Amino acid sequence: MSKAMFPMALILAALCLPSSACKRPDRSSPPVAEKIPHVLSAHGSERVDDYYWLKERDNPEVISYLEAENAYTASTLAHTEALQKELFDEIVGRIQQDDHSVPYFENGYFYYERYESGGEYAIYCRRPKSMEAEEEIILNVNELGEGHEYFAVRGLKISADNALLAYAEDSVGRRLYSLRFKNLDTGETYPDLIPEVTGNVIWAADNRTVFYTRQDPETLRSHLVFRHVLGTDPSHDLLVFDEEDETFSCSVQKTKSKRYLVIHSTSTLSDEARYLDADDPTGQFTIFLPRTRGHEYSIDHFGDRFFIRTNDNAVNFRLMSTPIAETQKSHWEEMIPHSEDIYLEKFEIFRDHLVLAQRQNGLVQLRVIPWSGDGGYLVDFEDAAYDASIGVNPEIDTATLRYDYSSLTVPHSVFDFDLETRTRTLLKQEEVLGGFNPSDYVAERVYATARDGVKVPISLVRRADSGEAPQPLLLYAYGSYGYSMDPSFRSERLSLLDRGFTFAIAHVRGGQEYGRRWYEDGKLLHKKNTFADFVDCAQFLVNEGMTVSDQLFAMGGSAGGLLMGAVVNMRPGLFGGVVAQVPFVDVMTTMLDADIPLTTAEYDEWGNPNNKEFFDYMLSYSPYDQVKAQDYPTMLVTAGLNDSQVQYWEPAKWVAKLRSLKTDDHVLLLHTNMEAGHGGASGRFKQHEETALTYAFLLDQIGGGAGN
């Protein structure tokens, strides 16, 4: 049994930890973190943070406290161990052990990844010209990850001559990668090793030069672009670009045509692109269009023109094009005009067609427009609510669009769509083992009226035979960064649905489901709309008789964890339980500390608290600062010791403060993954140990914690 299953031996071993910072009167009592007042001053006011000391990652007292919390969680949920194992086996049992992705064709090869029975990680493969050709294994991540509690790879890029692979690996979970190179003809891994990089890398056309990005070791902001020539000492790599504005980060990309390399600098509100001919890796990058505050744009290339997705005079974006040699705005020509009702999310270029991913009425649409000027059309989707996206389409010279599709009842599906005949072919649908039948479940979309009159959509799924309402219900949301939470399929969710739960997604403001204004109305000085929307959606579900408060559960992660922290301060009695995953809850302290990873780049999302107006507004909702002496629902809070996005101390401090002030006797649990970062465990099976823990916690609240 794994660590996350909390075997009794681990519980007994960890329950008694000698530490002045953690007072544990007996095994049934939670840890009590020591209060060491720390004064934080800003704008003439002071805040006293009693748990600031938990930020000391290298302090043994901190690790002891986290381990004590883990032991308390294990002890509290010990009676659910059988259920956790049952859930884990059930969830993993639905996954096809020997599986593979749908191959895609690029530069003479079919590429795909596959999994072997029992393997936690992917095996990346290819076949030349035909899937009937002999398989070549590019990278077996199971072999690389052997002996590591955590392992991840990213940035796999093949050189233009198909002979070389660049890839990045991380064995800690803090997203500090090491860049490596492999000869695919000989299998040799080159001695070139470039540590502490982002994993973002591209090849120039000469098959020996790569460009890669490196982050600040403290803030983790990606701001440096280097050039490396294979076979040379990486310590001599040339710094090509330094993004000096601390509110921006940068990445390297290649246009779909493969003709240009692009350095893309981006902040929440602004973009700037630089381009270089891929045949001239020692040349100088040229600025496409200088940055101006509020102007967001991205570029691609086809034929003799650049194509630009831009919000210039277009809040929902429009598509422009310009000759390669004339990138100034005065030469731009409009291809797709702005729409007040349709948000332009992405575009994909093909030889004879342009494909747009756009949003209308809260749902994704794929729009096809022939270059010939003949009438465009929408790809037809059958479900009332769904998740669709442009898939992997690396080749321009084709009339076939690859797209992905799923819904709350339809597993992830990959289609090839003929852009000329308008016919589609299902290439693969995720196989869900264990007797899954989509007709056993029913999905619907309802609308809650927020307190300011705005209609907020809610997507729900439940078993068709679930009986009369009210039922236990898990309400999920995110609501930040313009990230749309589309109603997609997750096979692990069936374990809740089959035990009587309804699962719901509140599409709150702060996402981008209804276009850019939906996002703008849930950020900065409008951030409280996100929290109010969630509360109003929850209240609507209770008012409609779909559930009752003591069986209504809320869940969100990262910025969605901030949402959880805000709503339990606002309306704690509305929820029977809350799961806050790696929650961003110490908003004020984090946003005032420019040395914390990612802080300065977040100013345009949350506000810069060095400005008093933003300071006052953010302080008024910051979950950690707004904890008060009141009853709170039962809660499970998770963290990752190596988390680079939401530092582990945010949830740890929050739990400690809640314990000190809350007036109820409801269970409050903190579970820290001591081996992973923001995304939790890395393996395709291992990650579900935490899923099983979460589901067991939820089921325990409705009396199902002992298992069957």
487 and 506 in a single domain? The answer is yes
Share of residues in the chain with pLDDT > 90 (%)? 83
420 and 499 in a single domain? The answer is no
Q: Note whether residue 480 is domain-resident.
A: yes
Domain count, the chain: 3
- Three-state SS annotation for 625-661: CCCCCCCCCEEEEEEECCCCCCCCHHHHHHHHHHHHH
706 versus 55: which is more confidently predicted? 55
* Residue 212 reports pLDDT greater than 90: yes
444 and 360 in a single domain? The answer is no
Reported pTM: 0.89
Distances (CA, A) of 268 to 262, 297, 484: 19, 11, 16
679: confidence class by pLDDT, cuts 50, 70, 90: low
Please give the backbone phi and psi of residue 210, each rounded to the nearest 5 degrees, phi first: -125, 155
The label of the residue with tokens 């992705």 reads 101
* Residue 308 reports pLDDT greater than 80: yes
Q: Note whether residue 333 is domain-resident.
A: no
453 and 413 in a single domain? The answer is no
Whose CA is closest to 80, among 669, 686, 683?
669
Lowest mean pLDDT segment, chosen from 9-13, 310-314, 509-513:
9-13
Share of residues in the chain with pLDDT > 70 (%)? 94
Q: Note whether residue 61 is domain-resident.
A: yes
612 and 672 in a single domain? The answer is yes
Convert the pLDDT of each residue in 479-525 to its tens digit.
999 999 999 999 999 999 999 999 999 999 999 999 999 999 999 99
How is residue 573 annotated by DSSP?
A: G
What pLDDT, on a 0 to 100 scale, did the predictor assign at position 666?
Answer: 96
678: confidence class by pLDDT, cuts 50, 70, 90: low
pLDDT average, residue stretch 399-407? 98
624 and 663 in a single domain? The answer is yes
* Residue 211 reports pLDDT greater than 90: yes
What pLDDT, on a 0 to 100 scale, did the predictor assign at position 18?
Answer: 31
Lowest mean pLDDT segment, chosen from 216-220, 270-274, 581-585:
216-220
Q: Are strands 400-406 and 109-115 parallel, antiparallel or unpaired?
A: unpaired
pLDDT average, residue stretch 446-472? 94
* Residue 14 reports pLDDT greater than 80: no
What pLDDT, on a 0 to 100 scale, did the predictor assign at position 8?
Answer: 26
371 and 413 in a single domain? The answer is yes
382 and 516 in a single domain? The answer is no
* Residue 431 reports pLDDT greater than 80: yes
What pLDDT, on a 0 to 100 scale, did the predictor assign at position 705?
Answer: 60
151: confidence class by pLDDT, cuts 50, 70, 90: confident
* Residue 649 reports pLDDT greater than 80: yes
What is the residue-averaged pLDDT of the chain? 92
The question of whether 452 is a catalytic residue gets the answer no
What pLDDT, on a 0 to 100 scale, did the predictor assign at position 26?
Answer: 39
Please give the backbone phi and psi of residue 173, each rounded to the nearest 5 degrees, phi first: 105, 5
**Kind and range of the H or E run holding 252:** strand 249-254
Q: Note whether residue 179 is domain-resident.
A: no
Which residue in 170, 586, 643, 700 is the catalytic one? 643
Q: Note whether residue 508 is domain-resident.
A: yes
Lowest mean pLDDT segment, chosen from 62-66, 155-159, 342-346, 371-375:
371-375
CB 165 within 8 A of CB 181: yes
Q: Note whether residue 24 is domain-resident.
A: yes
350 and 480 in a single domain? The answer is no
Please give the backbone phi and psi of residue 604, each rounded to the nearest 5 degrees, phi first: -80, -5
The question of whether 295 is a catalytic residue gets the answer no
598: confidence class by pLDDT, cuts 50, 70, 90: low
What pLDDT, on a 0 to 100 scale, did the predictor assign at position 599?
Answer: 75
Convert the pLDDT of each residue in 25-35 to its tens digit.
334 689 999 99
Distance (Å, whole) CA 259 – CA 276: 9
Which residue in 271, 678, 682, 688 is the catalytic one? 678
How is residue 341 annotated by DSSP?
A: S
What pLDDT, on a 0 to 100 scale, did the predictor assign at position 375?
Answer: 84
Which residue in 407, 558, 622, 682 is the catalytic one? 558
CB 624 within 8 A of CB 650: yes
CB 604 within 8 A of CB 269: yes
pLDDT average, residue stretch 286-304? 97
Convert the pLDDT of each residue in 184-205 to its tens digit.
999 999 999 999 999 999 999 9
98: confidence class by pLDDT, cuts 50, 70, 90: confident
642 and 692 in a single domain? The answer is yes
The question of whether 185 is a catalytic residue gets the answer no
* Residue 39 reports pLDDT greater than 90: yes
106: confidence class by pLDDT, cuts 50, 70, 90: very high
Domain boundary among 412, 430, 448: 430
* Residue 15 reports pLDDT greater than 60: no
What pLDDT, on a 0 to 100 scale, did the predictor assign at position 627?
Answer: 98
Q: Note whether residue 535 is domain-resident.
A: yes
What pLDDT, on a 0 to 100 scale, did the predictor assign at position 29?
Answer: 87
* Residue 23 reports pLDDT greater than 50: no
Beta bridge partners of 201: 212
- The domain that contains 482 carries what CATH number? 3.40.50.1820
What pLDDT, on a 0 to 100 scale, did the predictor assign at position 683?
Answer: 63
The string of DSSP codes covering 506-532 is: E--BTB-TT-HHHHHTTSGGGTHHHHH
What pLDDT, on a 0 to 100 scale, did the predictor assign at position 13?
Answer: 30
Domain boundary among 141, 168, 200: 141
Give residue 136's domain range: 98-141
- Angle formed by the axes of helices 649-661 and 60-76, nearest 10°: 60
pLDDT average, residue stretch 636-661? 92
493 and 362 in a single domain? The answer is no
Distance (Å, whole) CA 223 – CA 412: 35
What pLDDT, on a 0 to 100 scale, did the predictor assign at position 59?
Answer: 94
pLDDT average, residue stretch 98-110? 95
Domain boundary among 386, 412, 430: 430
- Angle formed by the axes of helices 559-570 and 528-543, nearest 10°: 60
Angle at 227 between CA 224 and CA 228, to 5 degrees: 125
pLDDT average, residue stretch 262-280? 97
Q: Note whether residue 525 is domain-resident.
A: yes
542 and 463 in a single domain? The answer is yes
Q: Exposed/middle/buried for 295, CB within 10 Å: 0-12, 13-18, 19+?
A: middle
Tokens read off for 446: 């309802």
What are the start-end ranges of the E strands in 430-524?
A: 441-449, 455-463, 473-476, 502-506
Tokens read off for 513: 């489901």
Distances (CA, A) of 109 to 132, 133, 135, 404: 12, 10, 11, 21
